Structure 1
């Protein structure tokens, strides 16, 4: 499935959390995590340990049957934003270099 299609599905689901269930949310978020990971690899982006933005999405996916629909909404939109941004980076050929911050 194309990245733009995944983004559209995530946004649509985020706007219809009253019409979908926990299983669908988990499936969508798990798929998004997989796509985000692929795009990160394509862009040579290595997440900072302990500060990975995917942690929230994975937490919502894992607890979809226990968290409120508001969390589904935020998790789905967060995943859509990450995918959109990564897709732009990869398609544009933009190079990203992450330089660790030195503690003083």
Structure 2
């Protein structure tokens, strides 16, 4: 089953459930701040595990105390799809438990 790009309205509706997340250009993303480098690295590993489980991978950028995530669906022409929001929702749910804000 091919994934279809979400409409602008669908994206806006879904973003209401994801405080702190935004679509910039053709990517859904967010930057998390943590208490230090090890905490940020732990978040990257937790996100990597979710990505493997879902078979859908974002670009992750690890900073000293930050983790930035940006994702779109290549098989949908680089558009934002429901698959991207599924990943974002999983990250939203796990990030606070690892100290991300």
TM-score range, shorter chain: 0.3 to 0.5
Which structure is larger by alpha-carbon Rg, 1 or 2? Answer: 1
**Structure with more of its chain in helix, by fraction:** 1
**Structure with more of its chain in strand, by fraction:** 2
Q: Please give the TM-score of this superposition, normalised by the length of structure 2.
A: 0.36
Q: Please give the TM-score of this superposition, normalised by the length of structure 1.
A: 0.36
Between the two structures, name the one with larger relative contact order (CA 8 Å, sep ≥ 6): 1
